[in-house]
Amino acid sequence: MQLANKVAVITGGASGIGLAITQLFASNGAHVHVLELNENVTIDSEADVQIHQCNVADQTQVNQVLESIIKQHEIDILVNNAGIAHVGKIENTNEEDMDRLYNVNIKGVFNCIKGSLASLKKTKGVILNMASIASSIGIPDRFAYSMTKGAVLTMTYSVAKDYLADGIRCNCISPARVHTPFVDGFIAQNYPGQEKEMFEKLSKSQPIGRMGQPSEIAELAMFLCSDKAGFITGTDYPIDGGFIKLSN
């Protein structure tokens, strides 16, 4: 029970990597509050999980939800996991694409940190942001996505530096390709009839020869948010099957 009685807020915590984090945190004793855009989602958990409908890009909504949580109990952990993707170079990325990704991937992180900060100061809490390997290396056809995840990385460094004296730790995780329902949907939509071949190709793009599993990201997230990581702040953790260092 590494997170016994900790209060955790997880954005995008009802699917993919976020769901794995939610379930692992809850099973390790945390009281989990999930912020989700879709109000009809459900989470299979016997532990303490509450779902709040919230668009992280809307600061008013975020503040209202966080205030309702803080009225019950102060926040110990904030996991900024919610994010959206985009495929394209700068020449086929339009203004609407840029605004959409900025609003969720950057402004959403800003909104949730800003709205949680007073509570996190009281608990000397932890912030964990979901960055990406695209934060630190060039990925083809991911211009807008890489831009936003680069911002998440540098926000992590800034927040970690600014709140050292308040006892707040802030780190980020940078996954490579992880096998989630989003990946399956992307392959089915873009490569109909070639799903098996494309899955194998994408899997082998990681030097280790496979995609990551959401549970593997969740285990790293739990460690970084637990007291066991009390000496760690201002650090990015690639979890990438060797992609950054070992890719040719």
Catalytic residue IDs: 145
DSSP H/E element including 218: helix 214-225
Q: Which residues pair with 171 in a beta bridge?
A: 128
Residue appearing with tokens 């912030």: 127
> How many CB atoms are closer than 10 A to CB 234?
15
Please report, for residues 84, 245, 246, the alpha-carbon distance to residue 212 in angstroms, rounded to integers and kept in the order given. Answer: 18, 16, 16
Cβ density class 209-229: b for 16+ within 10 Å, e for less? eebbebebbbebbbebbbeeb
DSSP H/E element including 117: helix 107-123
Contact 125, 229 (CB under 8 A): no
Query: Where do the H-state alpha helices sit in the chain?
Result: 16-27, 59-72, 95-101, 107-123, 143-162, 181-190, 195-203, 214-225, 243-246
* Rounded Cα gap, residues 217 and 156, in angstroms: 18
* Rounded Cα gap, residues 234 and 109, in angstroms: 16
